[in-house]
Each structure stands twice: as C-alpha cells, then as structure tokens.
Amino acid sequence: MPVVEDERPIVDAVRAILVAIGEDPAREGLADTPGRVERQWAELTSGYSADPAISLGTTFEVDYDEMVVVRDIAFYSLCEHHLLPFHGRVQVGYLPRGRVVGLSKIPRLVEAFAHRLQVQERMTQQIAETLMTHLDPKGVAVVVEAAHLCTMMRGVRQQEAVMITSAMLGTFRSDARTRSEFLTLISSSRSTASLP
C-alpha cells in the first residue's frame, strides 16, 4: 500500500519514542530530530533498493589466475536485533577464472549488503555467494571483523569484544593451501589498520 504524501511514519514513530521516554519533541533541540532520523534511516537502509549483482558492474577478461585480494573494506551496518550499529572491515579474496571485476565494485557490493538490517554471519555469506555467482571464480573467501554496539553499549557491555566471521567457497574451502595463502595475505592488514 503506497504511503500518502503527508504521512511520515518514521517521523511519527520518532516523535512517539521521544514522548515515551519523557521528552518534549517540540523543544528546540528535538524539534528537527524526527526529520533528521528519517533521512538517516533512508541512507542507512539504502541497500534494500540496491541490486548487489549490479554493484559488481562490468567484468573484464584477463589472462590472470592468481589470487585477487581486496583488504580492509570499511563498513557500517545495523544489527537487526537491537537496531544499533556494528562496524568493521571486510577482507575479500577470489581466484579468477579469466574474469576480474574493477576494484571499486567489491566495496560497493559490501555496502549494498551492509546498508540493510543485518546479522554479521548472513552478511558475510551474502557477499561470498554473490561474488561466486556473478564472477564464476574458482573460489571466494570473505572474512568480516566487526565491533557491535549492542554488546558495547548495553547488555554485557564488552568494549573490546570483536566478532569474526568467514565464508570460504570453492577452492578456498577445498584446498587448505589456498585458504592459508589468503589468511596470510589478510593477516598483515591487522597490524596496519584498526577498526574504524
């Protein structure tokens, strides 16, 4: 059902939350907050309107069959359980089968999945499966390392806890040497880059 032009459900919801916590949504500091939150949510959930496959764009035929690794792709996402941010870095590797994708396309793919309500495990798998499907490489590896504000700000309040997830497909799953090479290549990034 289409939203009537003068209906702004996010604005109304934010006002209701402000009232529920004992605030006055009309006071000077909060008067524009519902509209700002509405615009923020449009940006943070823009991945729902993005086709991740299109994010990969044009591929190129190349006589190259060694590992391609894109390290330290920064991302921000929202945990679907508490609607709080989690953020970190993604490491991606693939073994091409005669076709490669432009460098900027893999970060765009990450962003398309990160800008949705997510769980880190699913996002990791989605990135790997999309690359596997649309590039048809010999294998894909994805490692995601992130800090979750839902465990830092509330609940157990663990400030240093970091979650690491991985998805290994094709050769990266079946060949221990390939997997080891990828993990060695991305391990040096941990000494040169910290979480955003």
Q: Kindly report the backbone phi and psi dihedral angles of residue 161, in degrees, each rounded to the nearest multiple of 5, phi listed first.
A: -70, 130
Residues 77 and 109 in one domain: yes
- What pLDDT is stored for residue 188 in this prediction? 75
Active-site choice (79, 115, 125, 134): 79
What is the β-pairing status of strands 59-61 and 99-101?
antiparallel
Residues 85 and 133 in one domain: yes
Q: Is residue 2 part of a domain?
A: no
Q: Is residue 80 part of a domain?
A: yes
Residues 77 and 14 in one domain: no
Active-site choice (91, 118, 126, 148): 148
Q: Is residue 150 part of a domain?
A: yes
Q: Among 24-38, 50-64, 115-129, which is the least confidently predicted range?
A: 50-64
Residues 164 and 186 in one domain: yes
Prediction pTM value: 0.90
181 belongs to the catalytic site? no
115 belongs to the catalytic site? no
Q: Rounded to an integer, what is the distance from CA 179 to the centroid of its chain?
A: 22
Residues 87 and 171 in one domain: yes
Residues 61 and 153 in one domain: yes
* Count of helix runs (H) and strand runs (E) in the chain: 9, 7
CA distance 93 to 182: 7
pLDDT at 5 over 80: no
87 belongs to the catalytic site? no
Question: Given pLDDT bands bounded at 50, 70 and 90, which one contains residue 41?
Answer: very high
Asked whether the beta carbons of 115 and 75 are under 8 A apart, the reply is: no
In this prediction, residues 122-142 reach a mean pLDDT of 97
Active-site choice (40, 80, 121, 158): 80
150 belongs to the catalytic site? yes
Record the tokens describing residue 13, joined without a space.
């919801």
Report the share of the chain in percent with pLDDT over 90.
81
Active-site choice (23, 38, 129, 150): 150
Residues 115 and 33 in one domain: no
CATH number at residue 121: 3.30.1130.10
Per-residue model confidence as pLDDT tens digits over 16-37: 999 999 999 999 999 999 999 9
| Nearest partner of 68 among 45, 47, 87, 92, judged by Cα | 92
Residues 147 and 68 in one domain: yes
Q: Is residue 4 part of a domain?
A: no
Residues 97 and 178 in one domain: yes
List strands edge to edge, sheet with 68-79.
117-118, 68-79, 85-95, 139-148, 163-170
Residue written as token pair 């091409």: 96
Q: Is residue 29 part of a domain?
A: yes
126 belongs to the catalytic site? no
Question: Please, what is the Cα angle at 69 between 104 and 179, to 5 degrees?
Answer: 150
Q: DSSP code of 3?
A: P
Active-site choice (120, 125, 126, 145): 120
Domain that holds residue 122: 57-192
**How many domains does the structure of the chain reveal?**
2
- What pLDDT is stored for residue 154 in this prediction? 87
CA distance 156 to 119: 18
Question: Given pLDDT bands bounded at 50, 70 and 90, which one contains residue 192?
Answer: very low
Active-site choice (23, 38, 82, 87): 82
148 belongs to the catalytic site? yes
Q: Is residue 13 part of a domain?
A: yes
Residues 40 and 112 in one domain: no
> Any residues with CB less than 8 A from the CB of 169 and at least 6 apart, and which?
128, 129, 132, 139, 140, 141
Q: Is residue 97 part of a domain?
A: yes
Residues 22 and 95 in one domain: no
Asked whether the beta carbons of 148 and 76 are under 8 A apart, the reply is: no
Residues 74 and 13 in one domain: no
Per-residue model confidence as pLDDT tens digits over 169-180: 999 999 999 999
Q: DSSP code of 150?
A: H
Q: Is residue 167 part of a domain?
A: yes
pLDDT at 6 over 90: no
28 belongs to the catalytic site? no
Question: Please, what is the Cα angle at 165 between 115 and 122, to 5 degrees?
Answer: 45
pLDDT at 42 over 80: yes
Residue written as token pair 């391990």: 187
